[in-house]
Copies of this chain bind each other. A is one copy, B any other.
């Protein structure tokens, strides 16, 4: 998918040749395993022993490189944000007209979250912890400065064209897109157990995504521009 992923694939799988004397490889291996474990079990639920066992190295190395469990978790959280944000960078929207760009961004976000459930779970876990580990990270602050820039550029163009409302901020649009995209992954277990899994079939997911796009575009556009839009021929 991207080189981060490849790095982790390699780190998890391990090469035939020796792992010894490869500090970066050992650390990446630990991070990849720890990410899976923390995502699966949470901070208090994850076990250092379990992580170590699934690693190509020993428990001692975890402490050697990361200090303690909480700092390992912090590094995993950073790495997760880094992978996901990196995956977003490839998206190129400048050549599209604002409405199409917005649609494209919303769709991509919905799909991108769907493809990264472990990241979603880590963010859920971090929210359970009131975001204190995220706050301690300088890296995540840096990573996220660019997270909303695409949307700001789209809005700027949309407003310049007289199409977009002035009273709906890029931040709020981002919030609405994120809310649905995140909830779609984060609450799948409880929602589907209570209401069945029709919304989590291929058709159900497409419907949710299309309607999300429709709503977001409807929200961004000025009212007189909105009638009849965003329906029907939305996708080529």
Contact = CB atoms under 8 A, between A and B. Distances in A.
Interface of A: 41-45, 121, 123-131, 134-135, 140-141, 144, 147-148, 168, 171-172, 174-176, 178-180, 182-184, 186-195, 198-199, 207-208, 211-212, 214-216, 218-219, 223-224, 226-228, 231
Given A124-B124, A128-B121, A168-B211, A175 B191 contact: yes
Given A44-B45, A131-B190, A172 B211 contact: yes
21 contacts: A42-B42, A42-B45, A45-B45, A126-B189, A141-B194, A168-B211, A171-B198, A175-B191, A175-B199, A176-B180, A176-B212, A178-B191, A179-B179, A179-B180, A182-B183, A183-B183, A215-B215, A215-B219, A218-B219, A226-B227, A227-B227
Given A134-B190, A227-B226, A215 B183 contact: no
Copies of this protein in the complex: 4
B130 A194 contact: no
Q: Mostly helix, strand, loop or mixed at chain A's interface?
A: helix
Given A128-B128, A215-B216, 15 more contacts: A121-B128, A127-B186, A127-B189, A127-B190, A131-B193, A140-B194, A171-B198, A172-B208, A175-B191, A175-B208, A178-B183, A179-B182, A186-B186, A223-B231, A226-B226
